[in-house]
Each structure stands twice: as structure tokens, then as C-alpha cells.
């Protein structure tokens, strides 16, 4: 059975803040920070948005583009490290909001920034084994960065949803491979508001080792090279890391550009590779091959080899906003408003 | 805790704009009601639940400066009466815009957002709000 993507949808909040604006508050050269991270601005959720509302927006955009009866969805998995509830699954609200409830299984996933792609793999297994007809995999986050921390310049919000099935797939998922170790590069303890990280330790032994191992593992198993792919998308905690890892793996800038969103929306954590993949599907043509590697701290990587099918020609992409559409009509915030939006101000009643 | 069951009962309407249609006169209403205010007893047994499309235009609007405590972070915000394509009128927030970008007749569509939170450890209530489909020409 050929399992793949039947439909997809994306969502990114309209609010943005620049590294210069953040740096101004903390006595940091925001321009240099922007250049170093390759991030010109990052998305910010409004006070009425969270991982659940982002997941619902993405899932509804996904359903707008297909004729699938929501009652045929057998599973919904929401991958995020910012689920609004510690106990009460985000997916239950998504299931009700797209009218897929009650005859389905739902669970929330967490694996730092790759929980969304872990959800895709789970749906692939359930569809491929015939246990369910369709599964929904969502990667979404309203990621946290402590005030003044390096993460604050990149941690942003957004997400994408994928309907995984075996009929009328717009792209087949030909192969997936994961690489996992115990690497404590980034973590957040129960009850803590902000994550902590190992600074430079998040680079070579964490991001680069796992992304490169995941990518090489998949290239070997599919007997392909970078040149065989039209597009590539890598986890993007900033613009610099995926650009450098792509070069190391032999991918050209042209293959990377479409799915590289960090420079304009920041690091959407679990939403990063799903959103990059959505941006690629916004413009992909039949026969195009996509190479995707998500990375989650802790640490692991999920790699995917995807081929776009002829179905994409008749697929109504226009029925929901493209990632480019979601990156327009922006409103830039000053730091004070951003701090209020993100709950960084301690109120008198607290 | 007491409000959780009350909100839960209204989830279909809050999440998916489920209203009713009077099969005596064809009018739509939101939120759902058991008797048509026009047909009265003629509508008994003829009120059917329907999912409204969630598209419409602003019938009237105002900018709220003094808000309830639980949504004070969102003020000022726009509250509008939206006339849906089915004819029902629904009150709700219009978001992702400034009041000056809107006018009577601006087309809107429904979306789902947080409505309020019962404090940092309580239930989070989600429901419908509206976003403009296009903003007023400059």
C-alpha cells in the first residue's frame, strides 16, 4: 500500500517582532543577532492564540482542500512542546473542531521540535497496516524563550497539518528513517515556564550530528543522493543551521529556498519542518522529489523521502491560504506589546 | 469547575457554529433555540440543528475599551454583530485587524480562538471569533 499526503494545511499568526526590537531591550546588538541567526523577524501568537487554535486553523485549512469525510479520520496526533494543557489532549479539541469525533483515537506527542514528524510516521504505520483509513498529523507550537535568552530572538509560533492516507495522495512518502540518541542539548522540566539549553552544545553534537545522521541514513536506504531531489527542508532553529547542514550534505541553495522559512517567521519548533513542507507543496509539480529532515532536541531526527504525484495538478490548493499568504498582512509589535502577548509580564493579581 | 459542563454543552455551537433552521419558515437562528420566534407553535418539532457556513458580513460594530477581566489582555477589541449568509445574526469578536480597518458590510469568516481562561489552572474556553476577509480600502 502506497501511503502519502492526501491534503495539508498551514497556519502562522500575523504578528511579528524583529531581533532589533528585542535586542534594544536587553542591550544586545539586534542587527548582528539578526545577521548571525539569519532571522529578520519572528512570528508571535496573539493572546487568544495557542497550540490548539493554531492546530485547528491548520487542520481546517487541510480539510478545505479535500473532499474527505471527517468521520473517516481514524487518528489525530498533535505534536508540540507547548500544549496548553499538561493533562487534557490538544487533539480532542482539534477532533471536535473538524467534526472528526468521536470514533477515532487521539493523542498528543512531544519530542521537542520533531513531534509533528513523529505524528506523520505514526499515521503512516496506522494507514499502511490498514488499521485506519486516514490519520491527521499536526506539528504546531507557540514556543517559549526566556526574556533576554538567546532563544527569545527565534522562538516563534505556527504549525501545519497533514492528512495521511492511501487514496488520492498528492505526494507519496516513499521512505522514512529516524536516528535517536540520549543527548541533553535542550530541555524543559515539568512546571517550568521556559526551556533551558546547552548553548553551543546544541550545535555540533546535537543538531548537526542528528540531522546529518538522519539524512545520510535515508540517502543510503533509498540509494539516492542530494541531486535526486527537487526540494529539501531541514529543521530550522534559525536560518544558519539548515543552510550549513544542507551544504554539508550536498544540497544547493535552490533546493533549500522554498522550505526555508526561519528567516521570516523564526523557529516554529514542531511546526518548522511541517510548515517548510507545506510551503514546498504550495508550489510542487508532479514528479518533484522532496527530502525532509526534522530534528528534535533530546535528541533525534526523522527523515522523509517524498515524491509528488499527478494528483497535485487537480488538488485545489487555492481553497486555503498558502504559506506565502500567511506571511503577508503582517503587524509588527514593539517589545512591550510582545511581552504582554506572551504573558511575560507579572500582573498584580498573580 | 462549575462552568466546565455548561461550556461543554455548548461546544458544538462554539466550535462549529451549529444553529437551527425552522422548517416552517426557513429562517436560521444562532444560538440554537427550540421554538421559532416568528412561527411560534407552528415550528414545534420543525427546528433542525444545522451547521452554519460561518461566512457573512458585519452588520454593526463597536470597539470595546473596558473589557471583562478574563480578556483584559485583548483590549481594545472589536465586537461586531455579523449577519451570516444564512440570515442569522451572531455577536462575536473580530480579530487580526484594527477597528479602523473595518466598516459595516466588511466580509468576515468564522475562526476558532481562545475565548477566556479560568485562571492559570482552570479550563480554557475556545470558541468562534471572526476574521475579516479583506480590509477596507485605504
Asked, for residue B79, whether it belongs to a domain, the answer is yes
From A81, A123, A152, A210, the catalytic residue? A81
SS (H, E, C) chain A: CCCEEEEEEEECCCEEECHHHHHHHHCCCHHHHHHHHCCCCEEECCCCCCHHHHHHHHHHHHHHCCCCCHHHEEEEEEECCCCCCCCCCHHHHHHHHCCCCCCCEEEEECECECHHHHHHHHHHHHHHCCCCCEEEEEEEEECCCCCCCHHHHCECEEEEEEEEECCCCCEEEEEEEEEEEEECCEECCCCCCCCEECHHHHHHHHHHHHHHHHHHHHHHHHCCCHHHCCEEEECCCCCHHHHHHHHHHCCCHHHHHCCCCHHHHCECHHHHHHHHHHHHHCCCCCCCEEEEEEEECEEEEEEEEEEECHHHHCCCHHHCCCHHHHCCCCEECCHHHHHHHCCCCCCCCC
Asked, for residue B43, whether it belongs to a domain, the answer is no
Domains A4-171+316-341 and A172-312 share a fold: yes
Confidence check: pLDDT of A349 > 70:
no
A37: Cα within 13 Å, side-chain hemisphere:
30
Task: Give the model confidence (pLDDT) of A100-117 as tens digits.
Answer: 999 999 999 999 999 999
Confidence check: pLDDT of B2 > 80:
no
Asked, for residue B24, whether it belongs to a domain, the answer is no
Confidence check: pLDDT of A66 > 80:
yes
Whether domain A172-312 has CATH 3.30.70.2190: no
Confidence check: pLDDT of A333 > 90:
yes
Task: Give the range of the structural domain holding residue B91, as residue numbers without chain letter.
Answer: 53-138
- Tell me what the mean pLDDT of segment B94-107 comes to: 93
Asked, for residue B66, whether it belongs to a domain, the answer is yes
pTM (predicted TM-score): 0.96
Give the per-residue pLDDT at A115: 98
Percent of chain B whose pLDDT exceeds 90: 78
Cβ contact, residue pair A46, B96, below 8 Å: yes
Confidence check: pLDDT of A350 > 60:
no
> Residue A338: closest CA among chain B residues belongs to which residue?
B73
CATH number of A4-171+316-341: 3.40.47.10
Domain spans of chain A, in order of start: 4-171+316-341, 172-312
Q: Let me know if A204 is a catalytic residue.
A: no
Task: Give the model confidence (pLDDT) of A114-144 as tens digits.
Answer: 999 999 999 999 999 999 999 999 999 999 8
- Tell me what the mean pLDDT of segment A181-189 comes to: 93
Confidence check: pLDDT of B98 > 90:
no
Cβ contact, residue pair B126, A57, below 8 Å: no
How confident is residue A74, by pLDDT bands cut at 50, 70 and 90?
Answer: very high
Asked, for residue B116, whether it belongs to a domain, the answer is yes
Task: Give the model confidence (pLDDT) of A288-332 as tens digits.
Answer: 999 999 999 999 999 999 999 999 999 999 999 999 999 998 999
Q: Let me know if A123 is a catalytic residue.
A: no
Amino acid at each position: 500500500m502506497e501511503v502519502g499526503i492526501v491534503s495539508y494545511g498551514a497556519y502562522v499568526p500575523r504578528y511579528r517582532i524583529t531581533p532589533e526590537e528585542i535586542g534594544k531591550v536587553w542591550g544586545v546588538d539586534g542587527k548582528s543577532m539578526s545577521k548571525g541567526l539569519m532571522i529578520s523577524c519572528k512570528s508571535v501568537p496573539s493572546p487568544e492564540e495557542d497550540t490548539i487554535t493554531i492546530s485547528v486553523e491548520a487542520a481546517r485549512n487541510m480539510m478545505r482542500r479535500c473532499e474527505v469525510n471527517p468521520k473517516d479520520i481514524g487518528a489525530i496526533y498533535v505534536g508540540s512542546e507547548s500544549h496548553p494543557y499538561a493533562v487534557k489532549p490538544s487533539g480532542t479539541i482539534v477532533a471536535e473542531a473538524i467534526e472528526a469525533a468521536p470514533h477515532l483515537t487521539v493523542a498528543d506527542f512531544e519530542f521537542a521540535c520533531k513531534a509533528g514528524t513523529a505524528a506523520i510516521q505514526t499515521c503512516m504505520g496506522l494507514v499502511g497496516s490498514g488499521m485506519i483509513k486516514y490519520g491527521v498529523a499536526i506539528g504546531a507550537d507557540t514556543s517559549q524563550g526566556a526574556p533576554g535568552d538567546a532563544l527569545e530572538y527565534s522562538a516563534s509560533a505556527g504549525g501545519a497539518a497533514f492528512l495521511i492516507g492511501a487514496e488520492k495522495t498528492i505526494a507519496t512518502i516513499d521512505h522514512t528513517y529516524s536516528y535517536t540518541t540520549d543527548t541533553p542539548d535542550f530541555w524543559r522540566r515539568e512546571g517550568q515556564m521556559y526551556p533551558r539549553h546547552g548553548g553551543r552544545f546544541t550545535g555540533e553534537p546535537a543538531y548537526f550530528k542528528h540531522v546529518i545522521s538522519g539524512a545520510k541514513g535515508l540517502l543510503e536506504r533509498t540509494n539516492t543522493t542530494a541531486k535526486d531531489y527537487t526540494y529539501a527542508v531541514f529543521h530550522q532553529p534559525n536560518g544558519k543551521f539548515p543552510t550549513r547542514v544542507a551544504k554539508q550534505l550536498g544540497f544547493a541553495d535552490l533546493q533549500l529556498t522554498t522550505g526555508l522559512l526561519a528567516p521570516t517567521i523564526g523557529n516554529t519548533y514542531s511546526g518548522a519542518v511541517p510548515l517548510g513542507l507545506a510551503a514546498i507543496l504550495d508550489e510542487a509539480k508532479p514528479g518533484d522529489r522532496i527530502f525532509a529532515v526534522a530534528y528534535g532536541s533530546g535528541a533525534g531526527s526523522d527523515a522523509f523521502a517524498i515524491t509528488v504525484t499527478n494528483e497535485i495538478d487537480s488538488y485545489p490548493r487555492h481553497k486555503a491560504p498558502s504559506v506565502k499568504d500567511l506571511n503577508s498582512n503582517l503587524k509588527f509589535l514593539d517589545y512591550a506589546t510582545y511581552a504582554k502577548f506572551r504573558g511575560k509580564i507579572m500582573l498584580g493579581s498573580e | 469547575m462549575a462552568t466546565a459542563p455548561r461550556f461543554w454543552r455548548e461546544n458544538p455551537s462554539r466550535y462549529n457554529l451549529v444553529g437551527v433552521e425552522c422548517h416552517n419558515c426557513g429562517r436560521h437562528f444562532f444560538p440554537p433555540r427550540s421554538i421559532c420566534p416568528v412561527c411560534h407553535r407552528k415550528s414545534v418539532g420543525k427546528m433542525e440543528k444545522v451547521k452554519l457556513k460561518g461566512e457573512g458580513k458585519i452588520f454593526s460594530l463597536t470597539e470595546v475599551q473596558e473589557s471583562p477581566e478574563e480578556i483584559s489582555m485583548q483590549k481594545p477589541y472589536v465586537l461586531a454583530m455579523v449577519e451570516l449568509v444564512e440570515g442569522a445574526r451572531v455577536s462575536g469578536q473580530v480579530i487580526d485587524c484594527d477597528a479602523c480597518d473595518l466598516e459595516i458590510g466588511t466580509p468576515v469568516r468564522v475562526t476558532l480562538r481562545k475565548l477566556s481562561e479560568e485562571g492559570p489552572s482552570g479550563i480554557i474556553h475556545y470558541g468562534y471569533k471572526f476574521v475579516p476577509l479583506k480590509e477596507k480600502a485605504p
